[in-house]
Amino acid sequence: MRLYNTLSRQQEDFAPVRDGTVRMYTCGLTVYARGHIGNFRTFIAVDVLRRALKYVAGHKMHHVMNFTDVDDKTIVGAEKAGLPLREYTDTYIAAFREDAQALGIEAVEDTPRATDEANLQAMAGMINQLEQNGHTYRTDGSIYFKISTFPAYGKLARLDHEALQSGARVDADEYEKENVRDFVLWKATKPGEPTWDCGCGPGRPGWHIECSAMALRLLGEAPIDIHTGGVDLVFPHHENEIAQSEGATGKEFVRFWFHVEHLLVDNQKMSKSAGNFYTVQDVVDKGYRLSALRYLLLSAYYRKQLNFTWIGLEQAEEALRRITDFLGRVDALTSAGEHGEVAERVQQAVTAFDAALGDDLNTAQGLGEIFDLIRALNIAMDAKQVGKGDADRIRSAFAHFDQVLGVLAMRRDEDARPPIPEAEILAAIEARHAARRSRNFAEGDRIRQELLDKGIILEDSPQGTRWKRK
pLDDT in tens, 69-117: 999 999 999 999 999 999 999 999 999 999 999 999 999 999 999 999 9
Percent of the chain predicted with pLDDT > 90: 82
| pLDDT value of residue 165 | 63
Helix 117-132 with 207-219: angle, nearest 10 deg: 100
With cut-offs at 50, 70 and 90, classify the pLDDT of residue 449: very high
Q: Which residues, in sequence order, are bridge partners of residue 106?
A: none
| pLDDT value of residue 163 | 62
- Mean pLDDT over each residue of the chain, to the nearest integer: 94
| pLDDT value of residue 387 | 96
Residues 6+ apart with CB under 8 A from 392: none
Region 315-319: mean pLDDT is: 97
Say what the pTM is: 0.90
Which of 33-42, 161-170, 323-332 has the weakest average pLDDT? 161-170
Instruction: Count Cβ atoms below 10 Å from residue 391 Cβ, excluding itself.
Output: 17
Which ranges of 137-238 does DSSP label H, i.e. alpha helix? Answer: 207-219
pLDDT at 166 over 70: no
383-402 pLDDT tens trace = 999 999 999 999 999 999 99
Phi-psi region of 345 (alpha: psi -120 to 50; beta: other; left: phi over 0): alpha
pLDDT at 220 over 70: yes
| pLDDT value of residue 178 | 61
With cut-offs at 50, 70 and 90, classify the pLDDT of residue 177: low
Region 124-144: mean pLDDT is: 96
Pairing of strands 263-265, 306-308: parallel
| pLDDT value of residue 61 | 98
Query: 115: which DSSP letter?
Result: T
What gap in Å lies between CA 290 and CA 131, rounded to an integer? 48
| pLDDT value of residue 132 | 98
pLDDT at 469 over 90: no
With cut-offs at 50, 70 and 90, classify the pLDDT of residue 456: confident
Region 215-220: mean pLDDT is: 98
With cut-offs at 50, 70 and 90, classify the pLDDT of residue 422: confident
Distance of CA 234 to the CA centre of its chain: 17
Rg (CA), the chain: 26
| pLDDT value of residue 176 | 67
What gap in Å lies between CA 365 and CA 250, rounded to an integer? 40
| pLDDT value of residue 336 | 87
Choose between 81 and 467: higher pLDDT. 81
With cut-offs at 50, 70 and 90, classify the pLDDT of residue 167: low
Region 17-31: mean pLDDT is: 96
